[in-house]
Amino acid sequence: MLLPESIQSLINALERLPGIGPKSASRLAFYLLRATDDVADDLALALANLKKNTAFCEECFNITEAGRERCEICESTRRDGSVICVVEEALDVLALERTGGFQGKYHVLQGVLSPIEGIGPDDLKIKQLIARVARGGVQEVILATNPSMEGDATALYLRQQLEPLGVRVTRLARGLPMGGDLEYADQNTLLRALSGRQEMS
């Protein structure tokens, strides 16, 4: 079936989003076609404002409002600037903030090292992290990259770059999830859980 160009172009645009395949893109496009005008108008306005009204923090590279040099976390005097948690993406900041357990500051790399995809150290916000730590006042850098090959390689590279600066470099603990069963855990997860075991208190 041939579709009008406007519908096909929307489907094509939606397919470019992560996790959206041809069927999902078609469903979304036809939903928007049938929806009231205000649904489509609200979506169009939100998409237009997304790029126009957001920017990256000049210190940590997290997302912030356009026109601001620094994000709310970097500007906060209640946050501990001596501890920096390094994450891959801004979504990771949201995940950590939801826990309410971290009161330091962040540094968003905006990706991970991936030689296969041609992403090297110069493509990430690594130089900015090193310069930030070198200015002084930072006592600990927590490497919170994802437990993947790329995340581990990035963490190893960062540790090598940070150690000469005399800062404590730590990595998020990894192991078994709450409510998980040993029989369903993969070998690597079990090995990491064993090596990262702690005293019971």
- Strand order of the β-sheet with 140-143 is 104-108, 80-87, 140-143, 168-171
* pLDDT 10s digits, 21-38: 999 999 999 999 999 999
pLDDT value of residue 200: 61
Domains located in the chain, CATH noted: 5-52 (1.10.8.420), 77-171 (3.40.1360.10)
* pLDDT 10s digits, 53-81: 999 999 999 999 999 999 999 999 999 99
pTM of the prediction?
0.82
The C-alpha atoms of residue 17 and residue 26 are separated, in whole angstroms, by 13
Q: Are 152 and 174 in contact (CB under 8 A)?
A: no
